[in-house]
Structure 1
Amino acid sequence: MTGTGAGHHRPDGTRSSPRVPAGRGHGRPAQLPSRLAALCERLPQDRIRALEDLLTRLTGPDDPLLGRFTVAQSAAGLSRQLEEMTQAWRAEAPDLPGAGLALVLATVRALPRPQPVQTVVSGPLSPAIPVRLTSGVALEVIRSADAALLIASFAAYGAEDVVAEIAAAAGRGVEVDLLLEESTHAAAAFSALPAEVRIWHRTEAGAGVLHAKLIAADRHTAFLGSANLTDRALGDNIELGVVVRDLKVVEPLVEHFRWLIGPANDVMRRV
């Protein structure tokens, strides 16, 4: 029987083991391990578990369940990654059951792993690299704050989903600081937020502008990029950013902006 992961019957009645990935031709390394590693690197823990659950139900790379799951993915580039994983599985280990791949994912998930920098874009999407959309990432980072949220933007307009998410954060007790450029009237976009949300402007109007774009949740996650908090920047403009989850990078970054709003330093004033 093939395609079930049971291996093949030998003439003496015993079964051979399912084939596992091996390099093919002139020492070419197997692609399946790297495809699985890339999925583990990209997906959060809950999404990896969901993929594991799917894989345990698959008989092989041509199982229709996998095809339907792949087509249903809306995250930019994820369907392509799954297709590449499936192609490598079919080429290198077609007799390996999905449960074998699920075990690999579970093993990687159980190990401590560095949090990679994640690419974020607005505007047209290409299949070149796995990316996430600015609008969704901004909301996700705001939502992940437990105690403190620090946001800097040169301009702000519309962005109702972002404003609503900031209000929700303040409602659950998160301390919110918004550092905004006064000359763009960015503060007007947040006029509906509760009074406990602190808004800050530069103290010296002629000493340059606040041009930074940052969303920092507590001290664990920072979203840095070119996009302002406007509808066009979050969705239509060609913008680029990264999400950083390395505490060694995020903590001093947050400390710097906390220093900027420190009253003794006379850099920012509360509006």
Structure 2
Amino acid sequence: MTAPPVPASEPTPVAGLSAVLARLAAELPSAHRQAWIRVLHASPVPAPGVEARLLTAWPGGTRAELARALMRAWSSALPTPDGPAVALALQAAAVAHTTATEARRVDLVVSGPTTAAVPVRYTAQVIAEVIRAARRRLIVVSFAAYQIPEVVTELRAAADRGVRLDVVLESPREDGGVLRQDARTAFGTLAADFWHWPATRRPTEGGRASLHAKLIAADDHTAFLGSANLTGQALTHNLEVGVVLRNPEVVGRLVAHFRTLMNQEHGILRRL
């Protein structure tokens, strides 16, 4: 009689080992994990002494429960891989975990008053880092802009290394916006394409709409989103908060949104 298939909800022994290795990759500090990899690489089979060597491989960093889980899963795996294969699998799981974590990391950014709840990462510093991360295209969106010489210096450096700059700003009142002056003056002679939201393309009901978004996106991989305008006061003294996204999927959608808005045929924004 043919044995019944294993239900999809029940992990196979090999899947159990994979799950334990993924857990080790996520929970063990890098140096501790490397010490375990060395032990595994020198262990042909899951013999009883291997667990003891794991526990003494990294002084001061005992992970008895993880060591037991690893040995149990390794011994149960069919076919049973040798130690170097398990070591290689743990190393691969660690690389995959690091790559996924870095790609989806979110950093908090503050200006003005700070507390112990958020490690200090000032808005001006983060904006400079995001600008420096751009290699092909940089999209800068702000409601207002003035007194930002440090930001303009970074943008000039980006333009000098061949980065295409698109700067989207709110318009002055005479052009259908709500600002008292043209925000482009803050950028001097910066080599960039400047965009605005013409009055003829804004909603006419429910009051005057404004371009109030704040975004700096480097290529399709890194973006800063926050409450701060590109003004000297906002980047230093105001109480402002924001986040840096390093998730290419999310950042890519944000960038695609603004590229669609900039489309000369169908978009609402127009190049100045």
TM over 0.5: same fold? yes
- In structure 1, the residue matched to 2:71 is none
Counterpart in the other structure of 2:194? 199
Deviation at 1:265, TM superposition (A): 1.9
Superposition TM-score, scaled by structure 2 size: 0.59
Do the aligned residues in 2 keep the contact of 1:135 with 1:234 (CA within 8 Å)? yes
Q: CA deviation at 1:203?
A: 1.7
Larger of the two Rg values belongs to structure: 2
Matches of 1:164 and 1:129 in 2, distance apart? 28
TM-score, length-scaled by structure 1 = 0.59
1:187 aligns with 2:187: no
Q: Paired residue for 2:18?
A: none
- SS of the residue corresponding to residue 250 of structure 2 reads helix
Structure 2 gaps of 5+ residues are 1-25, 32-58, 62-92, 173-178, 204-208
Q: Following the alignment from structure 1 to structure 2, what is the Cα–Cα distance between the partners of residues 203 and 113? A: 41
Count of residue pairs the alignment pairs up: 177
Unaligned runs of 5+ in 1: 1-32, 41-51, 53-94, 98-106
Structure with more helix by fraction:
2
Tell me, yes or no, if the aligned pair for 1:118 and 1:131 is still in contact at 8 Å.
no
- Residues of 2 paired with 1:202 and 1:112: CA distance? 38
Partner secondary structure for residue 199 of structure 2: coil
Q: Structure 1 residue 182: deviation in Å?
A: 1.0
8 Å CA contact 2:170–2:183 kept in 1: the answer is: yes
Q: Give the secondary structure class of the aligned counterpart of 2:241.
A: strand
% of aligned pairs identical?
47
Alignment of 1:163 onto 2:160: no
**2:110 match:** 121
One-letter code aligned to 1:220: H
Q: CA deviation at 1:132?
A: 1.2
Runs of 4+ in 1 over 4 A off after TM superposition: 107-110
Query: Where does residue 124 of structure 2 map in the other structure?
Result: 135
Q: Which residue of 2 aligns with 1:221?
A: 222
Distance in 2 (alpha carbons) for counterparts of 1:259 and 1:113: 28
Question: CA offset at residue 269 of structure 1?
Answer: 1.3
The answer on whether the counterparts of 1:203 and 1:266 sit within 8 Å (CA) in structure 2 is no
Give the drift of 1:125: 1.4
Which residue type is aligned with residue 190 of structure 2?
A: L
Over the aligned positions, Cα root-mean-square deviation in angstroms equals 2.9
Amino acid paired to 2:100: R
- Letter in structure 2 aligned against 1:167: R
